Structure 1
Amino acid sequence: MYKLQHLTRSILTAFGLAAATTAMAAPETVTGLKTPESALAVGGKIYVSEIGEFGKDGDGQISVIENGKAKPFATGMDDPKGLAYNKGKLYVADKMRILSVEPNGKWKVFAAAEAFPVKPQFLNDLTFDKAGNLYVSDSGDLKGKGGAVFKVTPSGKVSTVVDSEDKRVLAPNGLLPDGEGNLLMVDFFSGVLYRITIKTGKMVEVAEGFGGGDGVVRDRENRIWVSDWKNGRVFMLKSDGELKLVKDGFKASADIALSQDGKYILVPDMKAGELVWLPAK
């Protein structure tokens, strides 16, 4: 089902800066986070989205990890989830809208709910392509209805890449660029990893068995890592097609990231309130 020829080499510079961590010694675990959902490291800093209390507006924030501790960076958000970076700004999927955050932590709405072809329900993960287009997953009702993947141009125009007209689109979650014109997408409801051709919306199944699939990253050895939120697991899909369970025992492994030196997978454990450095072996 998984074919090597469909996986291209990592295109970190082509698709914006990849998730990275600082060069300092990894702290192994950062505790005390408030419902951490996504990690992103860029520019020598590690950022974590903290939802706070689900459904409570205004208590969400983005924190930065410094010296093994979390420090508020951008506050006053609702339920911030996926993070992405482009041209000096962070972008955040915050409930039914996308926010852009300046280097000083000040933020504004980049794409409001009204900008979408249909009203979004649960905007989740984000990723950029080399042209500066932003892709965002909408996990719908998390029960298999209302899911979609949207494209947002640099000017903020939103269009649909795939939606529930394709019966396999249930609750899209983690997104990852996969060569020119393609995205990898793991579905939270089905646990299936797909390759999507952006221009046509064509979907091809790559691998399955990821439970509540959440984050997707590629390491320097061209291996793909997928987190399973529902079952607290992290998997590695090797370039030869072998699927390996690397780590279980998390309470809710959310949107993962790759460290700058390529040695770690950064795992936000949402229910434990932790960010864990998992060796990328």
Structure 2
Amino acid sequence: MADSDAIYKFTPNGRSTFASGLRGPLGLACDKAGNLFAADSGSGNIYKFTSGGVRSTFASGLDGPVGLALDGAGNLFVTDSLDVVGPGHGHVYKFTPVGVRTTFAAGFISPEGLAFDSAGNLFLVDGGDIDGLGAAIYKFSPAGSRSTFVLANTFCIGPGLAIDSANNLFVPDWCFGKIYKFTPGGARTTFAQSGANFLAFQPA
């Protein structure tokens, strides 16, 4: 779990500090080898931690990284935006396993959470402006083609996303404290009446 300046690890025996001295860690993602990637928004860095907690800088020079997601090939996708810059300056970057960066998508207002389904489609939360206007969830095919999956006209999208084994998408609503479930076809139901901003499923 990421906090204001640290990452905590929870076991059945309680909580321990996994990493400290950070400047606003947000998104976290683990690869198949057990390495943990952390988006440190204050420093503009992506840090990589071994399972033993050894830290290295995987990427630097970002404006304000938020969300992370790894595809099946080990490529890391990162949402990045700078609050003081006008809308449309948010990006999604793709990093190869060795850290080579390319721009995957651009032109977002406030890109936040990311999640992959089992087919390799990437889902992205764009939180919109300060009033939530323009908020949406976008879907990218494995080839990079973008479509609008959800327009948040009637609820406030939280920054986190989670996808279950059946490719249902779970989305928090921070205005009404709910969690919504979207089928792969986009049909929405209320999954929980009391929600949170970030979500995760236990790995299979």
TM surpasses 0.5: yes
Cα 1:219/1:199, change in 2 over 3 Å: closer
- From 157, 161, 168, the equivalent of 1:216 is 161
In 2: Cα distance, 1:240 partner to 1:112 partner: 37
Residues 117 and 163, structure 2, Cα contact 8 Å, conserved in 1: no
Residues 50 and 80, structure 1, Cα contact 8 Å, conserved in 2: yes
CA offset at residue 219 of structure 1?
1.3
Is 1:233 equivalent to 2:181 in the alignment? no
In 1: Cα distance, 2:93 partner to 2:39 partner: 12
Give the counterpart letter for 1:100 in structure 2. Answer: K
Aligned to 1:15: none
CA offset at residue 248 of structure 1?
4.4
- From 124, 131, 150, the equivalent of 1:185 is 124
Give the counterpart letter for 2:83 in structure 1. Answer: D
- From 12, 16, 38, the equivalent of 1:67 is 12
Aligned to 2:21: 76
Cα 1:226/1:79, change in 2 over 3 Å: same
CA offset at residue 77 of structure 1?
1.3
Give the counterpart letter for 1:133 in structure 2. Answer: N
Aligned to 1:162: 105
Aligned to 1:41: none
Residues 123 and 137, structure 1, Cα contact 8 Å, conserved in 2: yes
TM-score, length of structure 2 as denominator length = 0.83
TM-score, length of structure 1 as denominator length = 0.62
Q: Which has the higher contact order (CA 8 A, sep 6+)?
A: 1
In 2: Cα distance, 1:225 partner to 1:68 partner: 29
Aligned to 1:171: 110
CA offset at residue 176 of structure 1?
1.4
Name which of structure 1's ranges 227-236 and 77-86 shifts more when overlaid on structure 2: 227-236
Cα 1:236/1:148, change in 2 over 3 Å: same
Residues 175 and 215, structure 1, Cα contact 8 Å, conserved in 2: yes
In 2: Cα distance, 1:77 partner to 1:203 partner: 33
Q: Which digits, 9 at most, give the CA deviation of each residue in 1:236-265, with x for residues without a partner? A: 112453212333455xx322101347xxxx
Give the counterpart letter for 1:172 in structure 2. Answer: P
SS at match of 1:176: strand
Give the counterpart letter for 1:237 in structure 2. Answer: F
CA offset at residue 84 of structure 1?
0.7
In 2: Cα distance, 1:213 partner to 1:145 partner: 19
Name which of structure 1's ranges 209-218 and 92-101 shifts more when overlaid on structure 2: 209-218
Residues 214 and 228, structure 1, Cα contact 8 Å, conserved in 2: no
- From 83, 93, 97, the equivalent of 2:39 is 93
Give the counterpart letter for 2:53 in structure 1. Answer: G
Give the counterpart letter for 1:88 in structure 2. Answer: G
RMSD between aligned alpha carbons? Answer: 2.4
Cα 1:131/1:208, change in 2 over 3 Å: same
Uncovered stretches (5+) of structure 2, i.e. residues with no partner: 129-133
SS at match of 2:2: strand
Aligned to 1:22: none
Residues 179 and 190, structure 2, Cα contact 8 Å, conserved in 1: yes
Q: Which digits, 9 at most, give the CA deviation of each residue in 1:158-177, with x for residues without a partner? A: 1111112xxxx211111112
Residues 118 and 165, structure 2, Cα contact 8 Å, conserved in 1: no
Aligned to 2:131: none
Residues 179 and 194, structure 2, Cα contact 8 Å, conserved in 1: no
- From 95, 106, 109, the equivalent of 2:57 is 109
